[in-house]
Amino acid sequence: MAFQTQILFEEPGKYKTGEYPYLGASPKFVSFLKDFLIKKSDKIESVKLAVYLFNNIELHKTFIALAEKNINIDVFSIPLEGYDDSSPQEISSLENEGEVQGKHTKKSLAEKVYRSFITDPVKGYNLNIFPHAYIRSSRIKPFSRGKIPYSLHTKSLLIEMKNGSALVGLSSSNMAVRDLPKHDFFILKPGNQEEIGSVKEFFRLLSQYSVPVSVKTDGAISFDFQIKQEKVRFKSDVFFISPFYINSPEIAENKISELIKSAKKRIWLMAQHISSYQYKIPLNYRIRKQINAVQLREGCLTALLEKGKQGLEIRCLSQTFVDENEHDGKYRVPVNTYNFSQFIKEFKKIPHAKYGVNENIHSKFLIIDDIVIATSFNFTPTQFISLPYVNISKFDHIPGLNYRGIFSEVGQMLILRSIKDVECFEKNFEYVWGDNETKVVIGN
């Protein structure tokens, strides 16, 4: 029997407040993936996983078991320097089992996993570090989870089968231990030829610009990361944004805007952060010539507002919120407060539009009529800006640092068109909308 698309949603309400499960932020996803890989191991040729944080001991153990069955495993993640090493917390033991016990930080857990590739390597199982950092301002301050931000924010999966077929996966969850459970999604679906080609090409280039984990590279920071950009070759329902694809963030937003403009009845948007509206792009890093000028971009939310004014049903859910006047302290404030507040000012002009806030939201997806755009990235200007010529000789708050490289995050979007798949996301949206933690701040 052919494999059917699997769509899972995590429910943070199932867990105790402040609980850090040893299976990671999404025990449901990790359990499913572990069971699926072991059960189908005799049919699997290889597994490729790109994930922002890789500190899940249980997933690591599963990959070891697969490699011992001669299945090639390639995991891509960020340098150890990018993990949060503050405030150790007790890791709870679901079902009273699991190797991870005691108090840990995200970094101390990652160190266990990363170190094992050096001390106890397993043939066919590789951890690859993608050290690309993305910076566009000399005013950046050191992060709590590392000195500078790393771009590999995608959670992408490719499972190649021995019969030549392949499964394509995408999640909004890092499945990392020490992340709290949130509202997240996990998709695993059979890929068609174009989709598989798109994912294979992404992993080929990701591998080209990654380095094997080692004593010398596991904490490396790349301040001068040179990438030869290429055109996006595959036009399918699987699309990647990354520094090695020319202008891919803008291409992704343009595609999203086009789909929004095609809407006839409804647009439902759920994302951790929403602010891609009327934003500015510095031209001095977008073109080689250094000039103090900016380019104004409408952003995909402009199309959403226009559709709302035409009478379509508009509903949005996010983790952060601030109105057009000031923050009242009730909700977590978005980083890009200005863009968000300007969007909300226009959003309130739309008759019958509704906006809800839930601090447990981590999913990122759009329902446009009868399709779903699921993404690993938020709907903010940062996700949709590509600056190929960033060159900063000095930083205001990080002495001794200079940076030259491409500003672009790494992310994935996946379009689902099956009625059954769309219904799954529709039910999840309604579930989160009706959650006790959701506060409707605009509309009834």
Query: For the segment 33-60, what is each residue's pLDDT rounded down to a tens digit?
Result: 999 999 999 999 999 999 999 999 999 9
Does position 229 have pLDDT exceeding 70, yes or no? yes
Q: How confident is the model at residue 145 (pLDDT cuts 50, 70, 90)?
A: low
What is the DSSP pairing of strand 238-241 with strand 411-416? antiparallel
Q: 145 vs 407, which has greater pLDDT?
A: 407
pLDDT for res 117: 96
Any idea which of 1-5, 73-77, 347-351 has the lowest mean pLDDT?
1-5
Any idea which of 134-143, 278-287, 386-395 has the lowest mean pLDDT?
134-143
pLDDT for res 215: 47
Structure tokens at 240: 């990647």
Does position 197 have pLDDT exceeding 50, yes or no? yes
Structure tokens at 146: 């590392």
The answer for residues whose C-beta is within 8 angstroms of residue 40's C-beta and 6 or more apart is none
Superfamily of domain 238-442: Endonuclease Chain A (3.30.870.10)
pLDDT for res 2: 73
What is the DSSP pairing of strand 185-190 with strand 6-9? antiparallel
Percent of the chain with pLDDT over 90: 73
Q: Quote the DSSP letter at residue 270.
A: E
Q: 102 vs 123, which has greater pLDDT?
A: 123
pLDDT for res 222: 52
- Per-residue pLDDT, averaged over 65-88, amounts to 95
Does position 154 have pLDDT exceeding 50, yes or no? yes
Percent of the chain with pLDDT over 70: 93
Q: How confident is the model at residue 328 (pLDDT cuts 50, 70, 90)?
A: low
Does position 98 have pLDDT exceeding 70, yes or no? no
- Per-residue pLDDT, averaged over 283-305, amounts to 88
Question: How far is the C-alpha of 84 from the C-alpha of 105, rounded, in Å?
Answer: 7
Q: Can you give the pTM of this predicted structure? A: 0.94
pLDDT for res 289: 74
Helix (H) or strand (E) holding 253: helix 248-261
Looking at the chain, the domain(s) classified CATH 3.30.870.10 span 6-212, 238-442
Does position 395 have pLDDT exceeding 70, yes or no? yes
pLDDT for res 384: 96
Question: How far is the C-alpha of 295 from the C-alpha of 387, rounded, in Å?
Answer: 12
| Most distant CA pair in the chain, distance | 62
Any idea which of 140-144, 164-168, 296-300, 439-443 has the lowest mean pLDDT?
140-144
Q: What residues pair up with 390 in beta bridges, in sequence order?
A: 405
- What is the three-state SS of the chain? CCCCCEEEECCHHHCCCCCCECCCCCHHHHHHHHHHHHHCHHHEEEEEEEECCCCCHHHHHHHHHHHCCCCEEEEEECCHHHCCCCCCEECECHHHCCCCCCEECHHHHHHHHHHHHHHCCCCCEEEEECCEECCCCCCCCCECCECCCECECCEEEEEEECCCCEEEEEECCCCCCCCCCCECEEEEEECCHHHHHHHHHHHHHHHHCCEECCCCCCCCCECECCCCCECCCCCCCEEEECCCECCHHHHHHHHHHHHHHCCCCEEEEEECCECCCCEEEECCCCCCCCCCCEEEECCHHHHHHHHHHCCCEEEEEECECCCCCCCCCCCECCCCHHHHHHHHHHHCCCCCCEEEECCCECCCEEEECCEEEEECCCECHHHHCCEEEEEECCCCCCCCCCEEEEECCEEEEEEECCHHHHHHHHHHHHHHHCCCCCEEEECC
Does position 193 have pLDDT exceeding 80, yes or no? yes
User: Which CATH number applies to 6-212: 3.40.50.300, 3.30.870.10, 3.10.20.740, 3.90.1150.10?
Assistant: 3.30.870.10
Does position 334 have pLDDT exceeding 70, yes or no? yes
- Per-residue pLDDT, averaged over 346-359, amounts to 95
C-alpha count within 13 angstroms, C-beta hemisphere, residue 384? 28
- Contact call for residues 275 and 343 (beta carbons, < 8 A): yes
Residues in the chain: 444
Mean pLDDT score of the chain: 91
Q: How confident is the model at residue 93 (pLDDT cuts 50, 70, 90)?
A: low
Does position 151 have pLDDT exceeding 80, yes or no? yes
Backbone angles phi, psi at 158, to 5 degrees: -135, 120
- Per-residue pLDDT, averaged over 285-314, amounts to 91
* pLDDT tens track for 405-428: 999 999 999 999 999 999 999 999
pLDDT for res 399: 80
